[in-house]
Structure 1
Amino acid sequence: MTSASDAAENGAPKGCLGIIAGGGRLPGLILADLKARGEPVHLVAIKGEAEPELAASADIELGWGQIGQLFKSLKQAQCDRVLLIGGITKRPDFTSVMGDLGTMRRLPAILKAMIGGDDSLLTRVIGIFEAEGLKAVGVRDVAPALLAREGLLAGKGPDGDAQADMALAYKAVQRLGELDIGQAAVAIGGRVIALEGAEGTDAMLARCAELRRIGRVKTKGAAGVLVKAAKPGQDLRVDLPTIGPRTVELAKAAGLAGIAVEAGYALVADEAETAAAAKAGGLFVFGLTRDGSDAA
């Protein structure tokens, strides 16, 4: 018997795409892109995570303890694929998944998924959906236009110092990613001054601004580069590194000269607005090749 996802791969009409939306603007941007192309979509907003406006327009809003209702909803909408997108501010604790009967039946798999680093967590969550016959897809599959392009995306091209910092920060992100810790680093003057941990990119940039304020990092004028890149071996269907206007704002406050992302493996939310913010703030935004060769 051929499944809906198998049929889609063989050229038959695709079924509905289920979007499981966390926080941030990205789920809304992807939803708008898909609807503009006439793609059938079933939006599930994660209660307490999805943006209020998006949650209000969702087909259904569900909490962590409503896994059974989630799969029932996806089945009723005839979804054959699922996209997990958006930020999650905190992992559910054990009590939050004690919900409906469908949750209880899947509890061993859910609890197993909650063990490990961020990337292993997300990969295990994908496994739960695939065990239900749903094909997990990523932004690269459904909205590739949102991925960063190679080369200069905004502002003036990086000078020699910025290129050196870009290359160093990219190497740091690769090492950081091998430990499944974070996707971002900042280098200034040939020195890595910050690595992203559980606090996320925004908090890391705020920390960089504080280092400048207290004199631990001393430069004349804007200097240094934020680099965001996918972790080595990362499952590219989830948690791609993302930048947007807010990233530019915080990078400017931290006194950085620019931002670099991994072309084809990172997302630029609100690209036009991001580029305009970078130009106004005197920063560059650059799309690195996967091996970082253009940052050397």
Structure 2
Amino acid sequence: MARLGILAGGGALPVALHAAHPDAFVVTFAGVAHQMGDAAPAFPFEKIGSLYGALRDSGVTDVVFAGALSRPPLDPEQFDPAMIALAPRLLAAMQRGDDAILRLVVETFEAEGFTVRGAHELLPGLTAKAGLFAGPEPTDADTQDAKRGFEILRETAPLDIGQGCVVAQGLCLGFETLQGTDAMLRFVAQTPDRLRARARGGVLVKTPKAGQDLRVDMPAVGPDTLRGAAAAGLNGVVITAGNVVVLEPAKLKAVAEELNLFLLVEGTAP
């Protein structure tokens, strides 16, 4: 019988996956903060061969990558034979961006005989259907800002930079880069009042990049995203249906109501 392996990073998603699949074999990564407790073994990125072996020894056939992972510092002196073989391709992928790295990771695990699954395949209801998910109705200005945000993300997708941006009154106040959505929202919150005079309110737009492998890199929003958006003075958050993870949906709705912030799910990017 197939057994699932959860390769856990930070955040609530690995916890939710393990709750839904309690027989799964959970592993974490050395130096990566997580919420999986002390029982889950931690593997150094330099020892990927030992990770393959542990998965096989535990009967794992399918793996799912879940939670936040940042690019780790790698110590070549600690590389095991599997990592030494992978290193030239990995270094080349790092020069092309995160999508290239993630495609390589998927290819590597598939070459080792594992089936890579998406979290959205394993957790029904992980994404949202089109419509107003929570909070007040967006205004016409909010709708126009969202349209502008999707336009920005569509044009920048080939550059493999980020999955989100903030737009207010047609002006781009922030763009997600390697530091992530929370860092972008903190940056927007620090925008001087003299620059926000023409750009009150605004929206955060999040959607996958064109061609992105959603099995390993689906964008996500959660309660902390809404809190960050509120701290940045935004009116709401706009995502697309079926391809953005909605973390802790009940709590998300409660936070949206508390902050008077909308979460809108578009059927397709306008």
Match of 1:71 among 46, 52, 56: 52
> Which 4+ residue blocks in structure 1 deviate beyond 6 angstroms?
none
CA distance in 2, matches of 1:235, 1:166: 23
CA distance in 1, matches of 2:112, 2:93: 15
Q: Deviation string for 1:106-150 (max 9, x for gaps)?
A: 444444444420111111111110110111111222113111221
CA distance in 1, matches of 2:190, 2:59: 50
The residue correspondences of 1:84-163 to structure 2 (distance < 5 A) are 84-93=65-74, 95=75, 98-163=78-143
Amino acid of the structure 1 residue aligned with 2:30 = K
Query: Does structure 1 residue 238 correspond to structure 2 residue 216?
Result: yes
Task: Give the TM-score, by structure 1 length.
Answer: 0.85
CA distance in 2, matches of 1:109, 1:187: 37
Tell me by how many angstroms 1:203 deviates. 0.9
**8 A contact 1:187–1:194 mirrored in 2:** yes
Match of 2:19 among 32, 41, 44: 32
CA distance in 1, matches of 2:230, 2:15: 26
Tell me the residue number matched to 1:288.
Answer: 266
Tell me by how many angstroms 1:46 deviates. 1.1
Q: Deviation string for 1:236-278 (max 9, x for gaps)?
A: 1111111111111110011100001111000011111111111
**8 A contact 2:165–2:176 mirrored in 1:** yes
Q: Relative to structure 1, is the Cα distance of residues 34 and 254 closer, same or farther in structure 2, using a 3 angstrom cutoff?
A: same
**8 A contact 2:207–2:243 mirrored in 1:** yes
The answer for unaligned runs of 5 or more in structure 2 is: none
**8 A contact 1:230–1:240 mirrored in 2:** yes
CA distance in 2, matches of 1:161, 1:76: 56
Task: Give the TM-score, by structure 2 length.
Answer: 0.93
Match of 2:3 among 16, 22, 36: 16
CA distance in 2, matches of 1:105, 1:196: 33
Q: Deviation string for 1:170-227 (max 9, x for gaps)?
A: 111222222110000111112222211122111111111111x44211269x611101
CA distance in 2, matches of 1:146, 1:57: 26
Q: Relative to structure 1, is the Cα distance of residues 197 and 43 closer, same or farther in structure 2, using a 3 angstrom cutoff?
A: same
Question: What is the CA RMSD across the aligned residues, in angstroms?
Answer: 1.9
**8 A contact 2:220–2:245 mirrored in 1:** yes
Amino acid of the structure 2 residue aligned with 1:54 = M
CA distance in 2, matches of 1:114, 1:98: 19
Query: Does structure 1 residue 171 correspond to structure 2 residue 131?
Result: no
Q: Relative to structure 1, is the Cα distance of residues 178 and 89 closer, same or farther in structure 2, using a 3 angstrom cutoff?
A: same
Q: Relative to structure 1, is the Cα distance of residues 106 and 189 closer, same or farther in structure 2, using a 3 angstrom cutoff?
A: closer
Tell me the residue number matched to 2:195.
Answer: 216
CA distance in 2, matches of 1:262, 1:113: 28
Tell me the residue number matched to 2:27.
Answer: 44
Amino acid of the structure 2 residue aligned with 1:150 = A
* Aligned sequence identity (%): 34
Q: How many residues align?
A: 270
**8 A contact 1:113–1:125 mirrored in 2:** no
* DSSP-derived class of the 1:251 partner: helix
Match of 1:256 among 234, 241, 246: 234
Q: Which moved more, 1:193-202 or 1:256-265?
A: 193-202
* DSSP-derived class of the 1:186 partner: strand
Tell me the residue number matched to 1:5.
Answer: none
Q: Relative to structure 1, is the Cα distance of residues 167 and 97 closer, same or farther in structure 2, using a 3 angstrom cutoff?
A: farther
CA distance in 1, matches of 2:212, 2:267: 16
**8 A contact 2:93–2:104 mirrored in 1:** yes
Q: Which moved more, 1:140-149 or 1:97-106?
A: 97-106
